[in-house]
Amino acid sequence: MSTQDASAETEDAQTEPSTGSAHQDRRMREKRERQAERDEQAQADAEAAADEEAVQLKVFRYDPEVEGKQEPRFDDFHVPFEKGMTVLDALIYARDHFDSSLTFRHSCRQAVCGSDAFFVNGSQRLGCKTQLVELEEPVRIEPLPHQDVVKDLVVDMDHFYDQMEAVEPYFQEKEEDLPDAEGLEEQRQSPENREKIKMSSRCIWCGACMSSCNIAAGDNEYLGPAAINKAYKFAMDDREGEDLKQHRLNILEQEHGVWRCQTQFSCTNVCPKDIPLTEHIQELKREAVKNNLKFW
């Protein structure tokens, strides 16, 4: 073999690895570029899906103690939607992820405590019971109307509690049934009587009915549907006896009692526990009339 041929073979041997390495680098670069394009497309798709699944909230804001927030306003929040999400869930997400100063009441989250009643899309509702999927967007969340706002969605419930206490919402035994020296005696209730007052006992003191009542809005002394319903529970309980029933009817017959109700059914419509509040008020009116009838 000549020196020239040997030199050519050596040159070819040196060129082939260099060409192969460049080709591999180009393929890897193209692969990375395609992967980057796929990642960008996936991210764009995810963002588009998130936009489609986000729920827009318009939440009432007011803070009398912070300068610049003393004027009522509405803030917008876009909350990622999840199946089964409630209004309360959305508010908690907005508070935890967007604005920790957002203030509202909540506790059990099972429609039992009654602490999270709001004015949602123009109606009184429990936040923990109201599904977002049932509401039109934007979901407008405000504090309960006809009550003083403390901060954001929190209202002053003192007047509501005062009205509830005014009807003496606790069981009072008949005097002849008080326990003697030998010990306590069980006060039995018939199944029929229990069935009669069963629905009235479901009240959770949320204040939604009081907030919806136009009479309560204009008459601050009106007992209101919740308090009257509570009085119904005890007035219709046979274990208290006629004397105590008379006492409760005297409370309810006052000027600002049952006769102020104009049978608008607004309280019944918004009650989260489906209590027939208006029917109970009308029945107490009938009892009051019978109580005042005299035959001689």
Domain residues for the domain of 250 are: 157-175+189-292
**b/e 44-73 (16+ beta carbons within 10 angstroms → b):** eeeeeeeeeeebebebbbbbeeeeeeeeee
pLDDT digit string, tens, across residues 36-45? 888 787 676 5
- Domains contained in the chain, number: 2
Provide, rounded to the nearest whole percent, the portion of the chain with pLDDT above 70. 85
Burial class for 230, CB neighbours closer than 10 Å (0-12, 13-18, 19+): buried
In this structure, the answer to whether residues 258 and 168 fall within a common structural domain is: yes
In this structure, what CATH number is given to the domain that contains residue 141? 3.10.20.30
> Residue 259: which of 293, 288, 294 has the closest Cα?
288
DSSP 254: S
Residue 175 has pLDDT above 80, yes or no: no
Lowest-pLDDT range of 43-47, 84-88, 151-155? 43-47
pLDDT reported for residue 213: 96
pLDDT digit string, tens, across residues 234-244? 999 988 888 88
What's the pLDDT band for 217 if we cut at 50, 70, 90? very high
Residue 262 has pLDDT above 50, yes or no: yes
Mean pLDDT throughout 106-134? 96
pLDDT reported for residue 45: 57
Residue 215 lies in a domain: yes
Burial class for 187, CB neighbours closer than 10 Å (0-12, 13-18, 19+): middle
pLDDT reported for residue 275: 97
CA angle 161, 162, 166 (to 5 degrees): 115
